[in-house]
Amino acid sequence: MSLAVVTGAARGIGRAVAERLVTRHSLLLVDMSQAVHETAAQLGAVAVQADITQPEGIAAIVAAVDGASEPPAMLVNNAGITRDALIHKMEEAVFRAVVRVNLGGTYALTEALAGRIVDGGSVVNLSSRAQLGNVGQFNYAVSKTGVIGCTRALALALAPRLRVNAVAPGFVESDMTRAMPARVRERVVSAVPLARAGQPEDIADAVAWLGSEAAGYLTGQVLYVCGGRSFG
């Protein structure tokens, strides 16, 4: 089996993606959290605990890829953070931190690994429905809009050797969203045309499909997995 590299893989969407890909790829799972080692052990994968915003973190991931028994065929740039605040209350350091992880980390790891991914391979970046605009998420929206621009530019730069696409999730069940006040959560879910929150598995299915031969003529595209809320 070929290798797939998944960042932000310790839990949530990243873990769900790893669980989808494990049947057709060997896995290299990356996360800042120590929990990535447990996830990797459960899936028979290799874990790298690393910060994708730091040169030493990128170097550790590259070393693990170079030490694998097969070259990578897929890279999933899922790692990301939120630091929400209204713009007049947002500190510059908070704005920069979110952009550095969500956009800068995606750039840094893709730049490091693109030449190592086999011909015909795939990069899938995680954007967000929030790039269309959410109150209190100015920094997050900027970072995820940047991921879409990065995706489209890389699709042109790396074609025809590699495909590069993005998935833009909407409101997805997570530890963070389950902790929201009930009234806020209900308001958000009521705005979703399909009348439910997304599950990490919904996003994982889209990522796995974009990385498969079934999506072999798609590159530079953004797939909104948001229950219809991208247009409603």
What is the set of active-site residues?
140
123: CB partners within 8 A, 6+ apart = 74, 75, 76, 77, 110, 114, 117, 154, 158, 162, 163, 164, 165
DSSP-based three-state secondary structure for 134: coil
Token pair in block for residue 221: 């595209």
DSSP-based three-state secondary structure for 75: strand
- DSSP E strands in 8-137: the ranges are 25-31, 46-49, 72-77, 122-126
Is residue 83 within 8 Å of 98, Cβ to Cβ? yes
